[in-house]
Amino acid sequence: AFVMAARKFQSNVRVRKADLGAKPANGKSPFDLMMLAAEQGTQLLIEVEGPDADQAGPILAEILGSPGSGAFA
């Protein structure tokens, strides 16, 4: 759900673990997001930059915050 939603926006979307020094993943790439190895309950940060970032940020945050959403699918 997350990747499909992220791809609808022009903005760049990056997701990273909240750990200090964690490398960001391309939020539009299923492979990159899988490489995060984020288990349920892992705190994630979303970085959105671009012309529609104000619209994309809240929508993508809501998808990640939805319990049982299979967010990265």
Handedness of CA 23, 46, 40, 3 (dihedral sign): negative
Q: Is 68 helix (H, G, I), strand (E, B) or coil?
A: coil
What pLDDT, on the 0 to 100 scale, is given for residue 71?
56
What confidence tens digit (pLDDT) does each residue in 11-23 have?
A: 999 999 998 888 9
CA distances from 68 to 8, 44, 53, 60, 65 (A): 22, 16, 25, 15, 9
What pLDDT, on the 0 to 100 scale, is given for residue 68?
56
Q: Is 72's pLDDT higher than 80?
A: no
Question: Strands, DSSP E only, in the chain?
Answer: 12-17, 25-26, 44-49
What confidence tens digit (pLDDT) does each residue in 24-68 have?
A: 999 999 999 999 998 888 899 999 999 999 999 999 999 988 765
What pLDDT, on the 0 to 100 scale, is given for residue 33?
94
What pLDDT, on the 0 to 100 scale, is given for residue 65?
83
